[in-house]
Structures are given as C-alpha cells and as structure tokens.
Amino acid sequence: MLISLIGFAVLLVICFAGFPLGWAMVLIGFGGFGIVRGFDPAFATIGQLVLDFSMNYHFSTLPLFILMGAFVYRAALAEDMYDAAYAWLGHFRGGLAMTTVAACGGFAAVSGSSAATAATMAKVALPSMRRFNYDDRLAAGSVAAGGTIGILIPPSIALIIYGILVEEDIGKLFIAGVAPGILTIILYIAVIRIVTLVKKDWGPPGERTPWLERFKALGKVWGIVLLFLFILGGIYAGIFTPSEAGGIGAAGALAFAIVRKKMTWVEFYKSLVEAGKTTVFVFTVAYGAIIFSNFINIAGMPDDILDFVNDLNVPPMGVIFAILVIYVMLGAVFEGIGMILLTVPIFFPVVQSLGFDLIWFGIVVIMVTEISLITPPVGMNVFVLKTMLPDVSLWTIFRGIGPFFCADLVRLGLVVMFPQIALFLPAFMG
C-alpha cells in the first residue's frame, strides 16, 4: 500500500509541474513496477499490456465516434440546433441561455465530447447573448456548464472508456446515460429561470418566434434527430454493436456534411487530422493509465482498499459517498478522461464487492467527471471558454458556473439515491 501511495504522490507532483498526464503515468507505472518486481519483467509486461490494449476490438469504437464528432462539427449542425431551441425558448427571460443548454444537449447527442460541445456552442451562442446584453456570468456559465453534457449523453467517449475498463456492455451504458442527460438539461434550464427571476437584467428576453416558424425550425434538426435515434435505436434493438454504430455514425455524419455542401476535400482532411490528434491524445493517456494501474494492482492497493473498507464496517452508501468526494477533489487537478482511466481500475472492484450495479456506477462516475470539467483550478471547459472570451476573467466565468454547479450536485444526489433513473432503460435490453 505504501509504495502505491508514494507513486500517487509523485504522480501529483510531476503533473503539477506541467508534465503531461499520459507520460507521467507511464513513467511512474514503469518505475513502480520495476521497484516491486524488477525492471526486466517491467519491460516485458508493459510491452504486452500496450499490445493487448491496442488489439482490443472495442477500442475501435473510440476513433470512429471521435471522427463522427469531427464530421458533425464540419456539417454545421450546431447552428440549426441552436436556431430550433431559440424558436421555442428564446422569448423567455434568460431564453438565450436556456437555448444554449438545450442546443448543447442536442449537439452532445452526436458529438460525444464535452470540449467540442463547449467550443462549438460558444461560437454559436455567445454572439447572440452579447448582442442582447446578457450578463457575462450567465452567458459564460450556461455555455461552460452546457458543454459538460457532451460527456454524458450518448455516444460518449468517456462511457466507452469506462465500459472497456470494467468490461460492461457499452450499449447499455449509452442507454443508461439518456435519462440523466435529459435531467441535466431540465435542471440547468430551471437554474437559469431562477437566476433570471432574481437578477432580471442578467438575461433579457429575446424576440418571440411565430408558431409556424417554430415548427419550421424543428424541421431543420431532422439530421441530428435521425442520426441520434438511428445510432441508439440500432444499439438498443441489437441490430448492430457499439463499434459498428461508431462506423455507421461517422458515415452518416459525413453524408450530412456532403449533402449540406459543407464538406470539401480540405475540410475532410482537417476532420481526419483533428480526429487523429484527439485519438492519439486519448490513447496516450489510456496507455499511461493501464501501465500505472498495473503497478497499483501489483502493489496490492485495490485489495488493501477492499480490506480496509471491510474492516471499517461502513454502510455501502457511505463508501460510495467517500469515493465521490475523492472524485470531486481529483477533478480539481486532473483532466476528465485521465481521471476516469486512473481511478476506475482502483475503485470498481470495491464497488462491485459491495453489490452495486456497475452500469449505475459508470453513470455516477461520468456525472462526477462532468463536475470536474467546471471545477477550479483546472476546469477544462472553463479554459476552453476563456479562449473564446479573452476579455472576461476566469473569476467571472467561475462565478457564473456556481448555480449550475449546485444543479449538478442535486442531479448527482438524485441518481445516487434513486439508481433507477439511470437503470430503467437498460433493464429493457435484457
């Protein structure tokens, strides 16, 4: 146990020093394994781990959904999603912020990435909110928080990674994310409503859209709806696997981009390069996490934690609460995907031994990871947004996120206390 804790401490120190997380985990994982078992076995084991990891069929899902997200961005579907949401919500006080959250949910359904959702919706939504003199706190907060939905609503890259790590059905994880994702949108819209009732000047109402125009706007989002329903419906019905769904989704997004005349050879090349860079980043962090987790397992940390929990005689829900607190603390310094890869191999044996459903735990982990995306000092989505709003301070953005952070805690509490919120849809899949 001691050497595992030392490894964690060293990892935190070098990450704070600016060393890339993926390579930091490779270095500490290799060094720790070498100290425990010898460096010759360390070289052999790490080589085999990377080879086995690379040959895992399920990991083909990742680059395919990443590529789909790149094509979706090129197809400019986000603008149509925003226009449709604005037609129905824009005339309310705080309507543009509500529109942003709803559009983030729609775009997340076909992008699978929080950073991509936040960056895209910032370009689409922020100019409108500034034109209507929205307070920077509400404008920035709604975009940053809305962007976190991308990691939860399927297809989610984070859910794919979790499913591979714990060997759970990725299709069921996708379906389990639907209801909590919808709940997130509802709670965020409620928060905006409450904030604008108290601070009326923060979110002036926009122009009211005639009913006929509202339905016409809905007609523009048929591509997103069709792609989302086709992917999830196909997985739900067992027509194709999540890996096959990734290929179908990427092909569908490419077809939409071509039909909408948004895809040139230059844009196609840019999409491939963008998807390639993202895939390399994810796989680098994944390799590091696998190597580091192997060191932790060899050192006996998961078994020691399990024995420690059993000796404490703490109620199972108390253990879950402690794990969530650890996730919130780690989320303040670690990037989301890296945190999942680092912690899940350690915690899931404990959770499984306590009799909790791993599908439910996966959704809980993703929701806590969402919170980490807007938690200082890292807050990945906050820094993405900062690049879009160079004239707005980080402090202002974090203040705007506060009410949404509270909504996240409420949602987390609901899903923890009522697991069926996440589990009732997967139950129908058998």
CB 243 within 8 A of CB 60: yes
Polymer length of the chain: 430
Q: Are 76 and 262 in contact (CB under 8 A)?
A: yes
Rounded to a whole number of angstroms, the CA Rg of the chain reads 22
For the record, the structure tokens of 297 come out as 């397992």
What is the C-alpha separation between 166 and 63, in angstroms, rounded?
A: 20
The CA distance from 64 to 410, in Å, is 33
| Pair 112, 155: CB distance under 8 Å | yes
pTM of the model as a whole: 0.84
CA distance 113 to 110: 9
Query: What is the average pLDDT across 45-63?
Result: 76
* Digit-coded pLDDT (tens) for 228-285: 888 888 887 788 888 788 888 888 889 888 888 888 889 999 989 988 888 887 788 7
Residue 102 neighbours by CB distance under 10 Å? 23
**In 3-state terms, what secondary structure has residue 7?**
helix
Share of the chain above pLDDT 70, in %: 95
Q: Each residue of 88-142: pLDDT tens digit?
A: 898 899 999 999 999 888 887 777 677 777 877 888 888 888 888 899 999 999 9
What DSSP line would sit under 70-115, residue for residue?
Answer: HHHHHTTHHHHHHHHHHHHHTTSTTHHHHHHHHHHHHHHHHH--HH
Instruction: Flag whether pLDDT at 378 surpasses 70.
Output: no
CA–CA gap between residue 356 and residue 106 (Å, rounded): 30
Alpha helices in 300-357 (DSSP H): 301-312, 316-331, 336-353
Q: What is the pLDDT of residues 345-374, one digit of tens each?
A: 888 888 988 899 999 999 999 999 888 888
Per-residue pLDDT tens over the stretch 385-412: 787 778 888 888 888 999 999 999 999 9
Give the span between the Cα atoms of 420 and 384, in whole angstroms. Answer: 34
* DSSP secondary structure letter of residue 263: -
SS3 of residue 235 by DSSP = helix
413 confidence band (pLDDT: 50, 70, 90): very high
Q: Name the burial class of residue 37, with classes exposed (0-12), middle (13-18) and buried (19+) by CB atoms within 10 angstroms of its CB.
A: middle
- The tokens of 70 are what? 């790149």
Residue type for 212, please? L
Q: What is the pLDDT of residue 366?
A: 93
Q: How many CA atoms lie within 13 A of 332 on its CB side?
A: 8
- CA distances to 191, 259, 356 from 125, rounded to whole Å, are 18, 24, 40
Maximum pairwise Cα distance, the chain = 72
